[in-house]
Amino acid sequence: MESEPQPRAERSGVKNRREDFFHGKHRALTLLLQALFNLLVPDHAADAFSPPRLSEPSVCDWLLEWLLGGLSHWDAEHFLFVAEHGYVYEHNFAFFPVYPLSIRAVAEVTLWPLQGLLCLRSRLLLSAVLLNALFSVLAAVVLYELGCVVLQCRRTAFLSALLFCLTPANVFMTAAYSESMFALLAFSAMWQLEKGRSWTSGLLFSFAAGVRSNGVINAGFLLYSQSRRLAFQLQAGAGSVMKQAQVWRQLLGLAASVVLTCAGLFLPPALFQFYAYLRFCDPDVSPERAVPQPLLQLAVDKGYRLASMTGVKPAWCSHQVPMIYSYIQDVYWNVGFLRYFQLKQIPNFLLAAPIMMLSAWAAGIYLTANLQHCLTLGLVRRRNKSGGGEGAAKPGVGFCSSGVFVYVVHATALLVFGLLCMHVQVLTRLLGSSSPVLYWFSAHLLQDSDAVLWREGDPTQTAASLSERPCLGSALLGYTEPPHFTIMNRYPMTRVGSPLLSEEPYSQRVCLQNKDPEKLKEAAFISK
């Protein structure tokens, strides 16, 4: 008996619950593997930031460190240190404050009953892991909602959300890093902007800019949205003096909106830089609190600068624009234009090669499919092919649709900047937490190359009959189905034969620009 299609609201709820369950299982597996490898593999003896513990650990502290200690290394040490002690050392200011404040709040409030069992640092680590698990699940849900709006294809959006759960930046989404929080805020802001809620979007982008420095680049989304709206209004009123007058009156309103939203976005980083300036460059500002002796000794041993160590101002205080962040990146980590192009860094370039190739491939495919749209920056209203009227043509669907343009530009800008001016291995987590393009394009490739994922539902067909094509991964692992087909078929909304996705014609679900007609015939998906 053929099942009845479910209402849209019910379908959305089912998707989100299944998506949350899948992400939860994957997160639990990640934590289990982390604990196992942290026990079996000795830590690398790197000259990284490793502050002393100021309290004697209890048995519960040792147990938590054994379970989750692998998630507290490298940058995580800085976040946990800032959450516990504040910004003591100069190079701590490379890590923005919203995430440390969040985990400190959870440790002090939500985990307050555990203070008799766990020291503050252990509670901070536990709160970081719990918060990141929550943030990453919510980010996957928001990514699905964003994909539904931009791609106009629920199946592609859902597959993209599943791929986000399997992101190569997954370990950074789990550890005490700020990537999960940033992804949630950035994707939420993009989603709200697509729904026309520019003020809510600006507020979320502002919080994201207080989490990670690359959040300021998201101002481009606000600028492009307002510019596109203005361009369309100018084109619509070009034939009438009355309409032109109305458009120009709206110009001031749009300009004011852009200025205010962008000012709000830049406010958190600006306040953070000003706070650092007061700490290190203003002789009248006294230290907030006494620095414990072990931390003072660490500064002496490692050469770390404290605001209260001497009366000598650091060099960046005399810069024309005194920004501590750029100074830290330059002096402490040697970040700058082409500085990473060294022979000894070839392994790190190889480490980042997959994400760089995928991003460049996505940009190339989109440019090839939408050359005219890219050349006009999407600011020219497209005409209906049938009547030549003033209305814009109905937007396409899938990865190659016009709405994806600004996201491709954003991802490409991050790719170019990261390749030329950053430690290149950071690109994996930078792009994985900042741009939905990687997940949209990967979902597009899966659907474009596998007819199984696009085959129309037939009640007489079974999963076995639809997965007979050989797959290298499945052959090596001994499976009879392609791995991505197995994942898709586990969920009602993406299962072969599901009525949840079959009410829309094929032409409204797939990006047709890059589809091979032979593949369409093979998939039996051409609209009748």
Dmax of the chain from CA atoms? 82
- Indicate whether 458 pLDDT > 50: no
User: What value does the mean pLDDT take over residues 43-58?
Assistant: 80
Q: What is the DSSP string of 361-411?
A: HHHHHHHHHTHHHHHTTT-SPPBPTTT--SSBPPP--STTSGGGHHHHHHH
Number of neighbours of residue 308 by Cβ within 10 angstroms = 16
- 92-106: pLDDT as tens digits: 999 999 999 999 999
Residue 183 has pLDDT above 70, yes or no: yes
Distance CA 156, CA 143 (A): 11
Residue 213: per-residue pLDDT: 94
Who's near 434: CB < 8 A, 6+ residues apart? 182, 183, 186, 214, 410, 411, 414
Closest to 143 measured CA to CA, from 248, 270, 20, 3: 20
Written as six digits, the tokens of 35 are 């604990």
- Among 190, 244, 255, 182, residue whose Cα is nearest residue 213: 182
- Summarised one tens digit per residue, pLDDT across range 322-342 is 999 999 999 999 999 999 999
Share above pLDDT 90 across residues of the chain, in percent, rounded to a whole number: 50
pLDDT-derived band of residue 135, with 50, 70 and 90 as boundaries?
A: very high
Q: What percent of the chain has pLDDT over 70?
A: 72
3-state secondary structure of 306: strand
> Closest Cα partner for 49 from 297, 298, 245?
298
77 or 485: which carries more pLDDT confidence? 77
Please tell me which residue, 516 or 172, carries the higher pLDDT value. 172
Q: Residue 344: which pLDDT band, with cuts at 50, 70 and 90?
A: very high
Whether pLDDT at 41 is above 80: no
Give the E-state strand segments of 119-160 in sequence order: none
Q: Which residue has the higher pLDDT, 45 or 85?
A: 85
pLDDT of residue 510 exceeding 80? no
CA pair distance 96, 89, nearest whole angstrom: 14
Band of pLDDT at residue 527, cut at 50, 70 and 90: very low
pLDDT over threshold 90, residue 164: yes
Mean of pLDDT over the chain: 80
Q: Is the pLDDT of residue 475 over 60?
A: no
pLDDT band at 447 (very low <50, low <70, confident <90, very high): confident
Question: Of 131, 109, 107, whose CA–CA distance to 118 is shortest?
Answer: 107
Mean pLDDT of 133-160: 94
Q: What is the pTM of this model?
A: 0.82
Q: pLDDT band at 48, cuts 50/70/90?
A: confident
Task: Please state, in angstroms and rounded to a whole number, the distance separating the CA atoms of residues 111 and 130.
Answer: 11
pLDDT above 60 for 457: no
CA atoms within 13 A on the CB side of 419: 15
The end-to-end CA distance of the chain, in Å, is 23
Q: Is 70 exceeded by the pLDDT of residue 423? A: yes
Distances (CA, A) of 55 to 100, 118, 176: 20, 11, 20
What's the pLDDT tens digit per position in 286-306? Answer: 666 778 899 999 998 888 998
Q: What's residue 441's pLDDT?
A: 97
* Mean pLDDT lowest among 34-38, 175-179, 436-440: 34-38
Phi/psi-derived region of residue 303, left when phi > 0, alpha when psi is between -120 and 50, beta in every other case: left
Given a cut of 80, whether residue 514 has pLDDT beyond it is no
* Residue 476: pLDDT over 80: no
Which pLDDT score is estimated for 522? Answer: 40
Task: Kindly indicate the confidence band of residue 44, based on its pLDDT and cuts at 50, 70 and 90.
Answer: low
Over residues 472-479, mean pLDDT: 38
